[in-house]
Amino acid sequence: MASIPLEHLLLLSAALFCIGVLAIVTKRHAVAVLMGIELIFNAANLNLIAFSQHDPNLLQGQVFALFVIIIAAAEAAIALAIILKVYQYFNTVNVNEVDTSRG
């Protein structure tokens, strides 16, 4: 079975990363920005797993990708708690209108 070329995986990961950056930069809804961050986490994971494919005994890339998933879960929980709090306070989640961080 022919294995997937490493360069193609890296190009796919680069494309996913740039789409995530595009979502973060252009979107105005805070949850959409969070989706862009998730895309970037997934691009990093794809890179780690692509290199881990050539590391048969140690699997260090896959273990590190597991940690990235854990951090992504923690980040999503915190970010959504903050988004709900911001919505209670400002009555909007548009990141262009939320311009103060005073409590």
Partner 1 sequence: MALILFYVFAFLIVGSALLLVFMKNLLHAAFMLLITLLSLAAVYVLLFADFLAVTQLMVYVGGILVLILFGIMLSNRGDTIFIRSESSNGIAGGMLSFLLLGGLVYVITRTHFMQLPWLRHSETIASTGVKSTLHGIGINLMTNFALPFEVASFILLIALMGAAFISSQAK
Residues 11-70 that bind partner 1 (CB under 8 A): 11-12, 14-23, 25-32, 34-36, 38-39, 42, 45-46, 49-50, 52-60, 62-63, 65-67, 69-70
Phi, psi of 90 (to 5 degrees): -95, -15
Closest by CA to 79, choosing from 18, 43, 32, 22, is 32
The residue written with tokens 């998933």 in the block is 69
Report, in angstroms and rounded to the nearest whole number, the Rg of the chain calculated over CA atoms. 17
What minimum distance in Å lies between the beta carbon of 100 and partner 1? 15
Is 97 a binding residue for partner 1 by CB under 8 A? The answer is: no
Instruction: List the one residue from 44, 88, 99, 102 that touches partner 1 (CB under 8 A).
Output: 88
